[in-house]
Amino acid sequence: MPSPFANTTSPEGNISRMESAVSDKPLTTGKRREPYEQKRERAIRAAATVFAEKGYHGATTKDIAERLGIRQGSLYYYFRSKEEALEEVCILALRDYVGRMENITHSNKTFADKILDVVHSHLNSYRDDNEALKVHNDQRLYLPEERRERIKRDGSHYRKMLEDLFRAEIAKGAIPQNIDAQFAAQSVIGLCNSWGALLVRDDDIDMERLAERCSDLILNGCCYRPDHTFQSQP
Amino acid sequence: MPSPFANTTSPEGNISRMESAVSDKPLTTGKRREPYEQKRERAIRAAATVFAEKGYHGATTKDIAERLGIRQGSLYYYFRSKEEALEEVCILALRDYVGRMENITHSNKTFADKILDVVHSHLNSYRDDNEALKVHNDQRLYLPEERRERIKRDGSHYRKMLEDLFRAEIAKGAIPQNIDAQFAAQSVIGLCNSWGALLVRDDDIDMERLAERCSDLILNGCCYRPDHTFQSQP
DNA sequence: CTCTGTTTCTATTGACCTATAGAGTCCGCG
DNA sequence: CGCGGACTCTATAGGTCAATAGAAACAGAG
């Protein structure tokens, strides 16, 4: 039996699969079998759901397999270990999350609109990746140090981009000097995470409204007078 | 061997112990043995530490016992089950936390000062009960419904008190009508929890300063101009 | 010192879980 | 058709863990 884990680092899958994906020969007829990477991602999402509900240690590989409709042993065709499954869930959670932040920081909207976008994007991650981001937040520390390096790097990158957003605004003089960019960024992340955790498995919440409220809280606090509302200069 | 779990509901301990505590006969000589309830609380705190570090499912009863300096089997003199230990940790976490909130709401400080006190008290819980509150936040959902009733009640009570704080200020007209008290209260709690989680095991953070910044963020946002700073009327 | 209740210990049971090995099945392709 | 790789299955090894039972150690009161 050929191992599907020929290459150890890339999350893109095994070599033979990659070659066949690159191969110019079109893969014949209509009803194709579901590609490896596609089913593997389904496996990752299944793991995310189970980890979110029961926690990493509380979840069993049997739980994950059942949700996928296969047997416990078969799961190891897609993961080398339960730990790897958790790592993949965390990586998946950060993938689009970080990408969207990059787009936001490079846009030329006003500061206030960027903050709204950040909050909106963050909260939306709890819809799209659903359980994955929750798992990243709550369970990633159960991974051993070596396995957390990439995850830590991505997380720090995200935080730093948000900090720089505040720093730039402070440098422009549009925000008081005494604001601490690190504090502000961490607060935005924390606020979004705590609301996001409540969002999971509660589909009837008005996201737009919530995002507006969150960014408004961050910019103006909950006690501002309308005529004092912050407006950043473009 | 008489079970120390004669009464099933009270967290105050077994009947014979309670009677001896009530007994008027003074309990003789100098070096007293550590009372049951006192050691039990040490056991709860040991459980809190271990649960905080490894998670409920990741922690073993052996871990808890070792931290307490006894053997795994002996732990069952203080807990009927691992689950009960988690429940007790959560109850302990909320005990003083809720009590302090009651004091704050009944004080006659200004709204702004009350919010500062709330934040200060919340963050301080992460120092005093240290791991317990973190365990409550992260692990309580692993308890079965029946065991969570009291915990849910206490948590809701806390949140409601905070909501009422905002509602009263809105009614006074000191805060804009369009502020949602539920949103504001939940945001305060979420912000404090996310900062609190970072506080655990990081002793060199200036708590006073952090509390001020958090309450300032909530009241005025991070982008206020000094002359716009919110001041509630007494 | 002896008696009694308390606390801790050792030893074990039975359940459960991860990971692996190797056989079996399916399907597209030549 | 029948080969070969991809995928899934069964079965099990090897280990860990929660919880219990019963013996032992301990401490204070009479």
Residue B88 Cα to chain centre, angstroms? 11
Q: Which of B194, B221, B230 sits opposite A194 (nearest CB)?
A: B194
Arithmetic mean of pLDDT over chain B: 86
pLDDT tens for residues A62-111? Answer: 999 999 999 999 999 999 999 999 999 999 999 999 999 999 999 999 99
**What are the structural domains of chain A?**
93-228 (1.10.357.10)
Joined tokens for residue A21: 């994906």
pLDDT tens for residues A189-220? Answer: 999 999 999 998 787 889 999 999 999 999 99
pLDDT tens for residues B25-58? Answer: 444 444 557 889 999 999 999 999 999 999 999 9
Q: Which of residues 108-137 of A touch B (CB under 8 A)?
A: 112
pLDDT tens for residues B124-160? Answer: 999 887 899 999 999 999 999 999 999 999 999 999 9
pLDDT tens for residues A32-64? Answer: 567 899 999 999 999 999 999 999 999 999 999
Residues of chain A positioned with their CB less than 8 A from the CB of B175: 222-223
Distance of alpha carbon B33 from alpha carbon B17, whole angstroms: 13
Tell me if chain B has a CB within 8 Å of the CB of A172.
Answer: no
For chain A, what is the total number of helices (H) and then of strands (E)? 9, 0
Please identify which residue in the block is written with the tokens 């499954």: A85
Report the candidate in A105, A144, A110, A137 with the shortest Cα–Cα distance to residue A121. Answer: A105
Joined tokens for residue B208: 């006073």
Residue B22 has a pLDDT of 39
pTM for this entry: 0.87
Is the Cα torsion angle A117, A119, A122, A127 positive or negative in sign? Answer: negative
SS3 content of chain B, % helix, strand, coil (to 5): 70, 0, 30
